[in-house]
Structures are given as C-alpha cells and as structure tokens.
Structure 1
C-alpha cells in the first residue's frame, strides 16, 4: 500500500519546535510527510533542518522553486497548516501569497486538496476584526479550520502553552480528510 502524502506546513509560533515529534506521529499513522515552513519558522529551526529532512526523506521547503525546476515532493493527499499564525491566516484568506506555504495552501483550495488549518494566536490577535473574517473566509472555502472549542483556543498574550498545542487534533482531522493514493 502506498503511503498517503501529508504536507505539514508550519508558521513561526512556539509549537513549531515540536514539529519533529509531529512528523514521527504522522509517519506512525501511515503518512509520507513533506515539511514546509514560513521563512521565519525556517530561521527558527535552522539548526534542525538537515535532521528534519533526514526524518521525512524530503527536502524541507520554505521558498518557491524557480520556474522550470522540477517538483521535489510527491502530490499531497492532505495538507495540515499548523501552527498557523495571525499573519499566515490573514494572508491566506486575502490571497497574499508572499510565502511558499501560503501560496501552496491558497492554490490547494482551487485544486480541491483537503486542508486542515489550526491557528496559533493569542487572545489579543484574535480580537482583531480581520482575524474572524479570515477564519470565516477559509471555512467558506472548505478549509477545516480547527479553531475554538474544536481545536485551538487562544491564550492571553504572554501566557502561551506550546506544550498544550493540540497537534493530535490536527493529525486526526488529516486522517479523516486524506484521500487514498492511487
């Protein structure tokens, strides 16, 4: 049986430091994992990128490829974007594809790739009026946004709990959404 391909995308929020464990958990669930990061998340994990590439067996991507360069990843069966920051959620909903991972998830909507997003924002960011509009826009585009009681619940500023980020909820949703490989 061919593994289902999971694109695991992450922004620069403290739970990104747990991404190696998440990759291992996803692989135990039968996923072939390709890791994509925002440029800041790649900077945060700079010392771990070679190890993460070895763990996944695929290059870690954080920049667009040049025109004419081959794709280095297999096609995705499902995408999980977690942690997705305030900036990434709003950029995605507004179609502002300056980062590789935001561009892929924006295009993924049009390609019909099942996508799960789980924000990671503090309660102050969550009060910004654009954030709720962006969550609604993504849900209208059939993105499974795990926010609120069914996923991530914001903490007060400065009181984050990176070890309490509900990664398993995102992986459970990915399992339900993944199409079997042909």
Structure 2
C-alpha cells in the first residue's frame, strides 16, 4: 500500500507512538512513510509524548502532533486516517487496545479505526520479560484475530533483556510496519 490512491489524493497514515525510548526516533518511520507518498500524522500516547520532539515532528509532517482528545466543539486538526501504524507499540497499549479501553486519544483512534475497517499495523517494542506476560500474548492474538496486522516475533524484532532497550534502538527495523501495510494492501487488492 502506498499513500497515493488512484484519484491522486495522498492517503493519510496515522503513526501512533507509545511510551518507549524508541519513540525518540519515530521521525525515521515518518520519513519512510513520506517516501511511500503518505501524508503522515503523528499521534502519541501521553507517555509517548515524553519521548518525542513535537515541534520537529510537526515541521516534518506539516501537522500538529496530537496526544489528547480535543475539547467539545473544537475542529479536528488532522485529516481522517486511511491507515494506522502503532510503532513503537508498548505492552500497556496492546493490553488496553485488546480490551477495548479508550482512555487516551491513541487508543480511541485505534478502537475506532479497527471498527471502521481501516488497515492497522502494530509493531511492539518491549523486553523479553514483559513480552512473556500471558495478557500481552493474548492481546496480540486477539488483535490479529480481529484483523490487525501484528509484526512481532524474535525473527522480526528481537526481544531484549529488561533494562537494555536503549542499546537496541539503533537496530530497530522501522521499515517492517510499512512493509506489512504494503503486503496487507497487496493481499486484498482485487485482480484486474
């Protein structure tokens, strides 16, 4: 899937960044998505906002970075999403999303996007101990059953010991989420 549909209008990709040191580098994902001709908007969880440079991402995307629900009556400042990538996805976000909890803007958008049938890709980044929790594994399976493309596994994004995440930021494969989005599109594109 690329960000340009047949009518020439650029499709909108929401990049949702959760509270992880990896979120500091989410601009790399934005850059790759823009190279695929997506109009990218960044949304963070409240903890994700602690890691990102909001001003730099706003300059890079041309859109404000959103973290909180808007006030009633306020206009939407972002165009509607055509697809979403949650990267980095944390254990907290996966567990809440799989339970249908919408206590943050990011979770509300994910639950709503899933209900609208949007292509959604989740790329978790966590340590081996947190990834071993049964609720996390069940949440990933539930999201995948509901149509979310989950990019997770030791062969894709190797897990690291607790407390060592900072040492693994440089090797994170940012392109995997976009590749999964493209693969998803190609698998549902009708034959000509």
* Same fold, judged at TM 0.5 (above): yes
Q: Is the 8 A contact 2:10 2:39 kept in 1?
A: yes
Give 1:126 deviation, angstroms: 1.1
2:41 alignment partner, SS class: strand
- The structure-2 alpha-carbon separation of the partners of 1:65 and 1:177, relative to structure 1 and needing over 3 Å to count, comes to farther
**Cα-to-partner distance string for 1:43-92 (whole Å, 9 max, x where unaligned):** 222xx211211110111000011222222111211100010001011010
- Name the counterpart of 2:39: 32
**Cα-to-partner distance string for 1:81-107 (whole Å, 9 max, x where unaligned):** 010001011010011111111111011
1:39 alignment partner, SS class: coil
- TM-score of the superposed pair, with normalisation by structure 1: 0.91
Matched, 1:168 2:175: yes
- Name the counterpart of 2:5: none
Q: Is the 8 A contact 2:83 2:119 kept in 1?
A: yes
- The structure-2 alpha-carbon separation of the partners of 1:105 and 1:137, relative to structure 1 and needing over 3 Å to count, comes to same
Unaligned runs of 5+ in 1: none
Matched, 1:41 2:21: no
Give 1:153 deviation, angstroms: 3.0
Give 1:150 deviation, angstroms: 6.0
Q: Which has the higher contact order (CA 8 A, sep 6+)?
A: 1
- Please give the residue correspondences for 1:50-65 in structure 2 after superposition, counting only pairs within 5 Å: 50-65=55-70
Q: Which 4+ stretches in 1 moved above 2 angstroms?
A: 149-153, 174-180
RMSD: 1.8
Alignment partners' CA distance in 2, 1:21 and 1:131: 26
Give 1:149 deviation, angstroms: 4.6
Matched, 1:88 2:93: yes
Which of 17-26 and 2-11 deviates more? 17-26
Give 1:152 deviation, angstroms: 2.5
- Name the counterpart of 2:106: 101
Q: Is the 8 A contact 2:13 2:40 kept in 1?
A: yes
Give 1:159 deviation, angstroms: 2.7
Which residue of 20, 29, 32 maps to 1:22? 29
Q: Is the 8 A contact 2:91 2:136 kept in 1?
A: yes
